[in-house]
Structure 1
């Protein structure tokens, strides 16, 4: 039976280079207090031996753990996975976060925590104690959870809050949801729509209100009324069905709908199908998220493309900068979304059947 090849460790590198373990660790972590000739010697040994730095080796250089923890909502994430509806929020967050972490010798770990649970403090305390992360990325609704923010502040752990502008610990990152809803609505107005409905997300999410404001601003700027055209959903498919039914039952029903996420937009397509309404001939639909499924609907959905990967990467950068003692601008940062125009939007027809 073949023997396993012995792994090269930091001790082998230190012996080969004739330096201390701490010196090797400082070179691995790219710390500034290492003489160039010493760094070259250690790097030559690393290259010669084929050494791959481990988290344990990195931690030897100081108090940093070189781990960043990303928290996502357990209930919604597990529901998405089980139903196989296809939301790539977590995938995109991992893409942006992991790639950026790898550039700096960090690791990203994703944990699912139920923000509405009475056990959130106990669960998060256990994760923080076990991992000792240098920073935490909070996604909605965790980014608005005061209990979580207080815990991170008390332990002086860097925090990136995605989708929240409330005052609190850490720094805020958004996808400029207000602007995103505005450009989506403006696209419909430019096509000639005047009655544009909005299916908003739950009020517990700050970004839901931002999207409402963007829609209202665009409507008002064009002299159109938004009165009575707003219906709230909960980001779930069933709520999208009910919201669309409500809008299309109106005496002067909208000719277009902006849905605040892909699931509710898919529900709008289904209601249109049941009522014999052709999309986009009789009803135009725009979604948020742009998850893969909306590209394969009939018709493919025009959608706001949220830069989740870019936001996660930026969150990692800011946490690392703060850990390295570099000056970090504490003001909120917006990374703008885009609009992908597909076949679900078109100019309205003069008369639309509604039932």
Structure 2
């Protein structure tokens, strides 16, 4: 493939993590995407760097491997929400795994977003068909498809006239979409003396 269109997965994950930090979350769990996909590593790096830049610890414990599937999200959320120090927010590398996190939270009797903030990535149709609707990163899919088509036409034209320019790669901007699944963390009651 000579042409490509993408978003900056690193920057988008960084932006979402900083948003969660700005709400007051300090223990933010992260569900990593499929290990064979480049976007997974970039999103994880954006999360880690945003946590470090906010002066927060990034232990391995609140990061759990997922596979970009709902089923893997169920397993990952179950691990995260059963930690001794449960996160107050979970950022999943896609909306399927975020939706699974909401399902596990509901099964455990946790209120989303009162007890647990959940954020996703992609802004798929699922983000607005579950309750509560997901705060997520929106990829500009229509613009990406249009840009990819233009690049493909340019590539075909350059092949026909023999100019064979360098492969084109365009990075489009993603945006953070706030919905009902995020809130400031509740103050946890102090242990009685």
Give me the TM-score of the superposition, normalised by structure 1: 0.50
Rounded Cα–Cα distance in structure 2 between residues aligned with 1:246 and 1:264 = 13
Q: Does 1:273 align with 2:110?
A: no
Rounded Cα–Cα distance in structure 2 between residues aligned with 1:327 and 1:349 = 58
1:331, CA displacement in angstroms?
Answer: 5.4
1:327, CA displacement in angstroms?
Answer: 7.5
What SS is found at the alignment partner of 1:289? Answer: coil
State which structure, 1 or 2, has the greater radius of gyration over its C-alpha atoms: 1
Matches for 1:330-341 after TM superposition, within 5 Å: 330=167, 332-341=169-178
Structure with the bigger RCO (C-alpha within 8 Å, sep 6+) is 2
**Structure 2: unaligned runs, 5 residues or longer:** none
Matches for 1:24-43 after TM superposition, within 5 Å: none
Rounded Cα–Cα distance in structure 1 between residues aligned with 2:168 and 2:86 = 42
Rounded Cα–Cα distance in structure 2 between residues aligned with 1:211 and 1:293 = 20
Rounded Cα–Cα distance in structure 1 between residues aligned with 2:39 and 2:130 = 26
Note if contact 2:151-2:168 (Cα within 8 Å) is conserved in structure 1: no
* Equivalent residue number for residue 10 of structure 2: 178
What SS is found at the alignment partner of 1:342? Answer: coil
Aligned length: 184
Q: 1:314 to 1:273 in 2, by over 3 A?
A: same
1:309, CA displacement in angstroms?
Answer: 2.0
Rounded Cα–Cα distance in structure 1 between residues aligned with 2:150 and 2:4 = 13
Rounded Cα–Cα distance in structure 2 between residues aligned with 1:237 and 1:214 = 22
* Equivalent residue number for residue 45 of structure 2: 213
Of 15, 28, 31, the match for 1:199: 31
Of 131, 135, 145, the match for 1:302: 135
Rounded Cα–Cα distance in structure 1 between residues aligned with 2:92 and 2:63 = 10
Rounded Cα–Cα distance in structure 1 between residues aligned with 2:6 and 2:122 = 14
Give me the TM-score of the superposition, normalised by structure 2: 0.89
Deviations 1:43-94 (A, max 9, x none): xxxxxxxxxxxxxxxxxxxxxxxxxxxxxxxxxxxxxxxxxxxxxxxxxxxx
Rounded Cα–Cα distance in structure 2 between residues aligned with 1:240 and 1:322 = 38
Query: Pairwise CA RMSD of aligned residues?
Result: 1.7
